[in-house]
Amino acid sequence: MPRTKIAQVDPAYSTSFQADRRRLSWRGLVMKRIVFAALAFLAFEGAARAQDVAAGEKVFIKCKACHQIGETAKNAVGPELNGLIGRHSGAVDGFNYSAGMKNSNLQWTEENLSEYLKSPKQKVPGNKMAFVGLNKPEDIANVLAYLKQFGPDGKKAP
């Protein structure tokens, strides 16, 4: 029997049905808001953790005292850092590496670089880099994002 006919026969049904409908509507609205808030939080959290090239460039200012990167980069106090990700330690021609760095036999993966940037003396004992390291994991991730954009020729990847 259609609702209108039931409501005409039993007025209590009409009131009960409308109350149930409002409750369901309210619950649905609350659930939608909870789900939306959770998704927004997760999206923001993921974006906050993502590597940020612009922030990495700012952190790299600490490295510029000794290192160069880009098309005109040259060895300075430290070696130039073009194409660093994937390169072997102690591999830049014309730079006088410490015995610790020469003997470390590392390939500069993101994982190895992260550990090295956190504590250079601990990762490669005997290296001559005076930098104490980066404390914040997000700074390390951002610097890696900045470094990854430069190829071995110093050009930024498109």
Statement to judge: residues 42 and 105 lie in one domain: no
**Is 158 a member of any domain?**
no
pLDDT at res. 47: 45
Residue ranges of the chain with per-residue pLDDT less than 70: 1-50
> Are both 23 and 78 inside the same structural domain?
no
Residue 148 and residue 55 in contact, taking contact as beta carbons nearer than 8 Å: no
Nearest Cα neighbor of 124 from 96, 87, 99 is: 99
The boundaries of the domain holding residue 36 are 3-49
Q: Is residue 17 part of a domain?
A: yes
pTM for this predicted structure:
0.67
| Same domain assignment for residues 95 and 138 | yes
**CATH number of the domain to which 135 belongs:** 1.10.760.10
The tens digit of pLDDT for each residue in 37-77 reads 666 655 554 444 457 999 999 999 999 999 999 999 999 99
Is 137 found in the same domain as 64? Answer: yes
Q: Give pLDDT, residue 26.
A: 58
| Residue from 114, 108, 118, 36 nearest 79 by CA | 108
Q: How many CB atoms lie within 10 A of CB 147?
A: 23
